[in-house]
Structure 1
Amino acid sequence: MATLKRGSRGAEVKELQSLLHRLGYNPGTADGIFGLKTLQAVIQFQNDSGLSLDGVVGPITWQALQSKDQGYQIYTVQSGDTFYKIALKFNLSLSSLIAANPGVNPNQIRIGQQMLIPKTQPKPVLIRSVGGWIPYWLQTQAFRSVQNHPDMFQNLSPFWYEVKASGEIIKYPGAEDNSILSFARTQGIKIIPLITNAFSSEQISAVLNDPIIRQYHVNNIVKLLRQFNYDGIDINYENLFVSDREIFVIFLQELKIALAAIGKQLIVTVHAKPDPFGDWSGSEAHDYLGIGQAGDAVRIMGYDFHWSGSEPGPIAPADWIDRVLAYAVTTIPKSKIVLGVPTYGYDWPLELGQVGRGITYSYALSTARRYNTPIIEDIQQGPHFIYRANEVVHEVWFIDATSFAPLLDLVNKYDIKGIVIWYLGAEDPKIYDVIQTSFR
């Protein structure tokens, strides 16, 4: 295309004006005359696209115009529209709609205004299932991760409920958030909320060992799934008494029958272990064989090899995960096994009696920069570093995309169902590139 500027005339100017119109700018009538209105429209487009504001349509501006024209359609704002409603209407993430309209204030759209709607791309075909846990204490940030990568997820499990000793189910703050439910359903993502026992052995034991309370709890789960039309439930009952090993499986069998009757899935989350016993009572109490028979899927928490109360060290070393999966596939069908993969880290103060604090990937990076300390990269164990603050030495271990990748390689090695991310909102953004590379 020829280089055009104010005063230019002809068919190419007319094509430019039509193109600007399609992209939501106003160059005036498409009359083939590069006048003041066309100049103003070109400069506005250059400003929105981060180009030089010279008003000249040369090769770079032509390329930007044609690129946007091929990947977008025009939408005229209607009464009652908001950015969020428009994103839902076109099955888009909110972030992609905002990115496509850099010159539009999301809080000040008006009726009749034209916006660019990115043409949706088909979901990447992944050979593994990808899910994510949404913690209630980081719900807004975690939901943003989903909005930014809706094509990645087949299911989401918001951390919304707790079982009490009475068999009642209580809600955590932010539970049943309609924005999450609406967005997930628009994107075709299954919602399978999580119920926890708050790590209380006594709390869940009271439910499991009383047939009346146990049935009451099953009925409450069924009622909850029907009320919100959830796709299933994630039973995350941790730190069980070893004496409750068998009755827990019986409970799951009873729950499975009740859920199958209404077409809902039973997901069970279990402690990771490389043998039938593991290294503590909670892992021993999870009977992989019985749980694998009862559940539609079994999520193995492949993290906290070192945890807040332990000495510093890797959170999900690849050699440990290898042993965990090697054992799991001997007791649970591969098609049911889902590996819980971590995204977070811990910061341990190296003082007597101090415990580690959970941190996000971004916090780890900012801390290393703040204290000007080098990060030791270790693909198999995870990145880590040491720093000193207020005369206290700290040791930090965390997960980045590089150390995340070997865990996905193990998922492929053992040919299991897929992964579930613990937890969304804490991750290195590059893990989504790793997922696509590993699972496509």
Structure 2
Amino acid sequence: MAVHVVSAGDTLWKISATYGVSIQTIIEVNGLTAAGALVPGLALYIPDNMLPHRTHKIKAGDVIWKLAQEFQIAPSTIIQANPGIKPSRLSIGQIITIPTPLKLAIQTLGFMMPSTVSANIATLNYLGNQLTYLAAVAYSLTEQGWAYNLVDDSAIVTRSRQLNITPLLVVQNITYEGFSAELVGRVLENPTFRKNLTSSLVNLARQRRFGGVSVDFEFIPPARRHDFILFLTELKTALGNLILHVNLPAKTQDLPTNRIIGAYDYAAIAKIADIVAVMTMDYGYAGGPPDPVSPINWMEKVIQYSITQIPHAKMQIAFPLYGHDKVVPSNKTIVLPVLHAQNQAISKWVSIQFDNTSKAPWYRYWLGGAEHTVWFEDIRSYIEMYKLVDLYQLAGTTYWELSYPAPQNWAYLRKNISVKKQ
């Protein structure tokens, strides 16, 4: 695994010669334009023949020779990968890097909003081996609780099945105005409406050949906290052997009266759901001040709290495949794929900065006299996210949203991680 951060004077020819990798490969893996222009601070992922690197926290009883056996590598390799380590004096809690042929094995879930069938199918064909689950974002509910389809998703469900990807039906409390707290609140508090929602979701899932249901109810009123648990209990019972996947807003403590996170009792939900996805995204949110979308220090705090409530083996965290371009000081926000954010910096000839606390890239440019600040993700931030999955032994990841190109992420996943199939 090699990451090259471009310096002034670097060219693709020079980088290609340094690493022994063709210019065309570097362009394709990093989604560069054919011209291959570079700017200082641009992080390039360079494929190589090195072993994948695992992240391990030292626990009681760990010694180098045992770790070497466990990870099928020579003790000297572990020592070389961790300069300054004292092999005879490992400290509990110490984090080390282990090169190993044993890849991190995880489950992955990609959200897809059905659009142009040909584009959706092309995306699935490209990512077929890298997805465990395909979450079709195409369902909402009526005021009486009946789930209904918003846009035809039959083609992506069929193709997912053919590619051995388990399709999940995503239901959201979405209206033309966005997520509706009032809509989901009225349905959850009414036993009849809850029953309608449960029966219609199960019928839709079975009729349309889904492998389960992914619940994405956002801004549930805190007063409906217990009702949400009742609904999930009823839904899981009715689903039987189909999967119940639940998406939860990220938090670092339980605040039962908070209007955004109060309704979500992590521990109770985790006892019901088969998989729980904590949405570790939008720390820097649309309309808010310029901030990283998923700062690694915040993500780790969310994980540390979450695993006190949710078994790590059924917990996913979310990776954003997008960034935010914000106009300062209005904070008007343009959401753009990480690849577009990267290539926009190149097209505008601005240097990319890297914040070492959040482990996230960013840059600033001016347009029409207005200042823009862009935060996004690159290979460096994605590597740090995968390290967290490994360190805390989580079930895996979710990705929002598959139509957003993120070639560095997929190249890294393909090379370094084993994706489990259902």
Alpha-carbon distance, 1:309 to partner: 1.6
The yes-or-no answer on 1:398 pairing with 2:366 is no
Quick one: which amino acid aligns to residue 208 of structure 1? L
Matched, 1:191 2:191: no
1:176 corresponds, among 139, 147, 153, to: 153
For the Cα contact (< 8 Å) 1:307–1:315, is it kept in 2?
yes
**CA deviation string 1:65-100 (max 9, x = no partner):** xxxxxxxxxxxxxxxxxxxxxxxxxxxxxxxxxxxx
Sequence identity of aligned pairs in percent? 25
What is the SS of the residue equivalent to 2:329?
A: coil
- The one of 361, 373, 385 aligned to 2:350: 373
Q: Work out whether 1:204 is the aligned partner of 2:181.
A: no
Q: Distance in 2 between matches of 1:376 and 1:409?
A: 22
Distance 2:341 2:141 in 1: 34
Amino acid at match of 2:252: P
8 Å Cα contact 2:137/2:169 also seen in 1: yes
Aligned match of 1:217: 197
Deviations 1:138-162 (A, max 9, x none): 8765543321121111111011111
1:156 to 124, 131, 134: 134
- Structure with max Cα Rg: 1
Match of 2:389 in 1: 411
Matches within 5 A, 1:1-400: 127-136=105-114, 141=119, 143-173=121-151, 175-178=152-155, 180-198=156-174, 199-260=179-240, 263-277=241-255, 280-352=258-330, 354-378=331-355, 380-400=358-378
Deviation at 1:126, TM superposition (A): 5.7
1:434 aligned residue: 412
Shift of 1:279: 11
Give per-residue Cα distances to partners, 1:211-255, cap 9 Å, x unaligned: 111101111011101111210000000011111111101110011
In 1, distance between residues paired with 2:304 and 2:256?
13
CA–CA separation in structure 1 for the residues paired with 2:364 and 2:257: 28
Q: Structure 1: 5+ residue runs without aligned partners?
A: 1-123
How far apart, in 2, do the equivalents of 1:279 and 1:364 lie?
37
Alpha-carbon separation, structure 1, partners of 2:209 and 2:278: 25
Q: Alignment partner of 1:285: what SS?
A: coil
Q: State the distance in 1 between where 2:392 and 2:184 align.
A: 32
Q: Which residue of 1 aligns with 2:8?
A: none
TM-aligned CA deviation for residue 383 of structure 1: 1.1
Q: Distance in 1 between matches of 2:188 and 2:361?
A: 41
Distance (Å, rounded) in 2 between the aligned partners of 1:393 and 1:303: 24
Equivalents in 2 of 1:279, 1:410: separation in Å?
Answer: 29
**C-alpha distance in 2 between matches for 1:225 and 1:349:** 42
Corresponding residue SS for 1:165: coil
Q: 1:139 and 1:329 mapped to 2: Cα distance?
A: 38
In the alignment, the residues of structure 2 paired with residue 169 and residue 365 of structure 1 have an alpha-carbon distance, to the nearest angstrom, of 39
Structure 2 unaligned blocks of 5 or more: 1-101
Code of the aligned partner of 1:426: Y
Query: How many residues are treated as equivalent by the alignment?
Result: 312
Equivalent position amino acid for 1:420 in 2: T
Given that residues 409 and 438 in structure 1 are in contact (C-alpha distance below 8 angstroms), is that contact kept between their aligned partners in structure 2? Answer: no
Tell whether the 8 Å contact from 2:365 to 2:371 is kept in structure 1 after alignment.
Answer: yes
Q: Which has the higher strand share?
A: 2
Contact 2:141-2:172 within 8 A present in 1 as well: yes
Q: Report the Cα offset of residue 177 of structure 1.
A: 3.1
For 2:117 and 2:136, the matched residues in 1 are separated by 8
**Equivalent-residue separation in structure 1 for 2:206 and 2:198 (angstroms):** 13
Give the C-alpha shift of residue 349 in structure 1: 0.7
Distance in 2 of aligned mates of 1:376 and 1:137: 34
Q: Which has the higher contact order (CA 8 A, sep 6+)?
A: 2
Matched residues in 2 for 1:138 and 1:304: separation? 27
Cα distance, 1:278–1:344 mapped onto 2, change above 3 Å: farther
Give the superposition deviation at 1:355.
2.1
Q: Which deviates more from structure 2 when the two are superposed, residues 284-293 or residues 274-283? A: 274-283
Q: Is the 8 A contact 1:145 1:424 kept in 2?
A: yes
Superposition deviation, residue 342 in structure 1: 0.8
Q: Assess, with a 3 A threshold, how the Cα gap between structure 1 residues 289 and 438 changes in structure 2: closer, same or farther.
A: farther
TM-score between the two structures when normalised by the length of structure 2: 0.70
Could you tell me whether the CA contact under 8 Å between 2:124 and 2:159 is conserved in 1? no
